[in-house]
């Protein structure tokens, strides 16, 4: 059955004519209001050569004033039209500049068809290869390569054939299967909506026909699967509302729920106030289950329990969207539909050169970069390969402090270690180990600038606790960098990994029933928050040793400030690298106050 909505992504290099092509497509299908067309006859871009009174089709898609002034497309412009067969077409006009790669990726993530324009007067360019690569990466099922401006090349078949041969190398390299090449002229209208007599040597479809003939993938026979978007309550029932992802749910089906593993039977299916016997893919419905098992937003409902295989380790492609570079080992929030989990990039395998497809070595990803990474979630999630399921194969990463969306990802596959490694429980637990030592195990995390007094306070606190019979240990940042963390530098990503390792060691010590004291600069709030998140409530005490940088420079116990001033340490915290003051620490100590006073404050908080 044909889909009711087709999503078309258009992309090309600057001045390839994609805005003009979309504008003509809209006008010739009567999809533009007459007053808008009237404005397009009067308004002119700077430097436009279109005669007065004729339509500047490109103005019908560019919405930003900056675009009209520069004659380029910056943002993604969306337009809607109705095809001859009654289906609705949503067109996204993506920017062609490399610095707007992230805009194109977002538009491509939902596209069914990718329309890639090539200027016949210029041939295949670097950006053309990048656009094809992104379309393949984002799972666009059909690619239409429109070789535009053939009117400027006297409609010669030789020009079309040469470009087709050139682009075929990239098409074959990417493994694109459904590709249609169309010679056309957006300006003259040849082969856009209507067949042209100017190119009798071409016997293929027009652009509109190539779009209209596309068929959605057939998931007939697939087991039914749906994410819970909300719990719908009424006087006579409690239902699970969502959009069917694949397959068909029918009244009487037995279904399983993830993550609870509970099973139930569908007693009713309701949509728009009426009951139906079955619901197919893409239908928004409410399932009423018998018995009324507990289900929460984000839970997955499926007729086949094998579809609910969850994992916490994945290989993925990620597009970095943020101006601040990706920091592996830093904790972000991963969202996939209504499901979410803290997550971190554990490994950057390579960065993709989207122009050539080459794999480049990388330690981080900058804005607009696309990388092949390994990612770990704190809890198991039902995520599938993006090529098999866009719905369950896509995710975004959100900065846990700023709430900015920093990355968009596509799952490649789960990692075997996700199912091969299991947590082993033992009879003696943390509570028993703490009780044996007659103390409450916890982590005391001292953070502050170098020279603030963290190590001095940690040493004095351990002495006092030891004298009182407590079982405790100090994890000092410098000591750990002589062994466990000797491979790490002082870049933001290495500092994130340093904090991650120390927090994991501290967690093990707390599990052993110890009071563990860490003395670590740990300059970034996100890394400290991630450290706190792996401990149980009340087990982690963040203590900010607040000492002015001027005092730290005067003390300079390790000579680091002197080296920094001499240019020997370019990214020294507090001088060449920012220190993010804790926003909500459990305790603030004045680093200039007497040591006994600070120890007294700590003991009152701990004991």
The string of pLDDT tens digits covering residues 174-183 is: 889 899 999 9
Distance CA 42, CA 532 (A): 61
Q: What is the CA radius of gyration of the chain?
A: 30
pLDDT of residue 418: 56
Distance CA 340, CA 377 (A): 9
Whether the CB-CB separation of 227 and 337 falls below 8 Å is answered with yes
| 3-state percent breakdown (helix, strand, coil) of the chain, nearest 5 | 30, 30, 45
The string of pLDDT tens digits covering residues 402-434 is: 889 999 999 999 987 656 667 778 889 899 999
pLDDT of residue 181: 96
Closest CA to 352 of 363, 364, 360, 344: 360
pLDDT of residue 196: 85
pLDDT of residue 2: 40
Q: What are phi and psi of 540, to 5 degrees?
A: -115, 125
Whether the CB-CB separation of 244 and 281 falls below 8 Å is answered with yes
pLDDT of residue 306: 85
| Active-site position among 340, 389, 434, 522 | 522
- Cβ neighbours around 305 below 10 Å, total: 15
Q: Which residue has the tokens 């501290």?
A: 506
Whether the CB-CB separation of 429 and 435 falls below 8 Å is answered with no
Whether the CB-CB separation of 225 and 307 falls below 8 Å is answered with yes
Distance CA 473, CA 475 (A): 7
Distance CA 125, CA 116 (A): 12
Per the structure block, which two tokens stand in for 164? 């087709």
The string of pLDDT tens digits covering residues 215-230 is: 877 655 678 999 999 9
pLDDT of residue 65: 44
Reply yes or no on whether 455 is catalytic: no
Locate the DSSP E strands across 70-136. Answer: 77-82, 88-93, 113-119
**Cis before 582? omega within 30:** no
Domains of the chain with CATH codes: 5-212 (3.40.50.300), 225-306 (2.40.30.10), 309-415 (2.40.30.10), 430-606 (3.40.50.300)
Contacts of 24 (CB under 8 A, 6+ apart): 57, 186, 189, 192, 193
Whether the CB-CB separation of 329 and 363 falls below 8 Å is answered with no
Q: Apex CA 231: angle with CA 229 and CA 235, to 5°? A: 150
pLDDT of residue 222: 74
Residues of the chain with pLDDT under 70: 1-3, 14, 33-36, 39-40, 42-49, 51-53, 56-77, 95-100, 218-221, 235, 417-421, 571, 574-577
pLDDT of residue 536: 93
Stretch (H or E) spanning 444: strand 442-447
């Amino acid at each position: 059955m044909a889909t009711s909505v087709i999503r078309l992504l258009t992309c090309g290099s600057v001045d390839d004519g994609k805005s003009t092509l979309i504008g003509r497509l809209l006008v010739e299908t009567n999809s533009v209001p007459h007053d808008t067309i009237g404005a397009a006859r009067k308004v002119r871009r700077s430097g436009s050569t279109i005669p007065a009174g004729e339509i500047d089709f490109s103005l019908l898609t560019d919405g930003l004033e900056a675009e009209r002034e520069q004659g380029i497309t910056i943002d993604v412009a969306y337009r809607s039209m109705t095809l001859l067969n009654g289906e609705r077409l949503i067109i996204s006009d993506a920017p062609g500049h490399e610095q707007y790669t992230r805009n194109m990726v977002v538009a491509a993530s939902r596209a069914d068809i990718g329309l890639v324009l090539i200027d016949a007067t210029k041939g295949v360019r670097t950006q053309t290869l990048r656009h094809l690569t992104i379309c393949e990466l984002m799972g666009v099922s059909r690619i239409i390569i429109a070789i535009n401006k053939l009117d400027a090349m006297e409609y010669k078949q030789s020009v079309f054939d040469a470009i087709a041969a050139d682009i075929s190398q990239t098409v074959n390299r990417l493994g694109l299967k459904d590709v249609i090449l169309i010679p056309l002229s957006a300006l003259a209208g040849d082969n856009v909506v209507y067949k042209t007599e100017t190119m009798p040597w071409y016997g293929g479809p027009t652009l509109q026909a190539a779009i209209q003939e596309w068929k959605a993938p057939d998931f007939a026979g697939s087991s039914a699967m749906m994410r819970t978007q909300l719990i719908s309550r009424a006087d006579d029932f409690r239902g699970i509302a969502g959009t069917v992802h694949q397959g068909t749910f029918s009244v009487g089906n037995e279904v399983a729920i993830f993550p609870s593993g509970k099973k139930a039977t569908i007693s009713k299916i309701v949509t728009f106030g009426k009951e139906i016997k079955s619901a197919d893919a893409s239908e928004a419905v409410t399932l009423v289950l018998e018995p009324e098992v507990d289900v929460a937003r984000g839970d997955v409902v499926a007729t086949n329990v094998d579809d609910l295989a969850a994992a916490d380790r994945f290989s993925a492609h990620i597009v970095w969207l943020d101006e601040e570079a990706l920091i592996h080992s830093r904790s972000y929030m991963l969202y996939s539909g209504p499901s979410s989990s803290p997550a971190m990039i554990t490994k950057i395998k390579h960065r993709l050169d989207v122009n050539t497809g080459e794999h480049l070595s990388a330690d981080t990803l900058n804005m607009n970069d696309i990388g092949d990474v390994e990612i770990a979630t704190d809890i198991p999630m039902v995520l599938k390969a993006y090529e098999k399921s866009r719905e369950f194969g896509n995710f975004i990463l959100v900065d846990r402090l700023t709430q900015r969306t920093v990355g968009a990802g596509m799952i490649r596959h789960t990692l075997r270690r996700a199912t091969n490694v299991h947590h082993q429980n033992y009879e003696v637990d943390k509570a028993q180990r703490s009780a044996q030592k007659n103390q409450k195990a916890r982590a005391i995390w001292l953070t502050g600038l170098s020279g603030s007094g963290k190590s001095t306070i940690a040493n004095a606190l351990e002495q006092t606790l030891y004298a009182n019979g407590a079982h405790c240990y100090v994890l000092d940042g410098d000591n750990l960098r002589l062994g466990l963390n000797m491979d790490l530098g002082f870049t933001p990503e290495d500092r994130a990994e340093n904090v991650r390792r120390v927090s994991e060691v501290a967690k093990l010590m707390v599990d052993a029933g110890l009071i563990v004291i860490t003395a670590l600069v740990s300059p970034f709030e996100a890394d400290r928050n991630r450290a706190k998140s792996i401990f149980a409530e009340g087990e982690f005490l963040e203590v900010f040793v607040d000492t002015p940088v001027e005092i730290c420079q005067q003390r300079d116990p390790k000579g680091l400030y002197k080296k920094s001033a001499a240019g020997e340490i370019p990214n020294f915290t507090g001088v060449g690298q920012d220190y993010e003051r804790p926003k909500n620490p459990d305790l603030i100590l004045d680093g200039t106050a007497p040591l006994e006073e600070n120890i007294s404050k700590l003991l009152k908080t701990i004991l």
